[in-house]
Amino acid sequence: MNNNTRTESMPISGRDLAAARSRARLTQRDLAELLRHSTRAIQTWEDGNVPAAKVALVRSVLGVYIEGDNNNPLAQYSNLALLAELAKRLDAAGSA
C-alpha cells in the first residue's frame, strides 16, 4: 500500500470536512453539487463522519484542503485550475 492509498482510506471527521469546505470557500450546497449528493448528506457528514465509501470521493474534491493531506496530486493546481480538474475528474467518474 503506497502513501496515497493510505491517505485516501483514512477516515474524515465531520469537523475536518467542515473545515476543509470552509478553506475551499465552498458552501454545503456547492460541495453537494461537486460531489453529486444532497445538501442534507453534507450536513449529516459534517455532524458525524464521512462514510467510508465516500472518503475517496471527498478527498478527490477537497484533498488539498484536508489537514494532513500533503501528498495529494491536486496540490499543484491553482484554484481555477483545480476547479477545472475537478470537473474533468467528476465527469470521468460519472461516465465510468
Helices vs. strands in the chain: H and E counts, helices first: 6, 0
Number of domains making up the chain: 1
Q: Single out the residue of 23, 25, 17, 22 nearest to residue 42, CA to CA.
A: 17
Asked if 19 and 62 touch (Cβ cutoff 8 Å), the reply is: no
**Domain carrying residue 17:** 3-94
SS3 state at 78: coil
Q: Tell me the one-letter amino acid at 83.
A: L
Averaged pLDDT in 10-residue chunks for the chain of 96 residues? 54 93 92 95 96 93 75 62 83 78
Per-residue confidence (pLDDT) for residue 76, from 0 to 100: 58
CATH number at residue 74: 1.10.260
CA 23 to CA 2: how far, in whole Å? Answer: 27
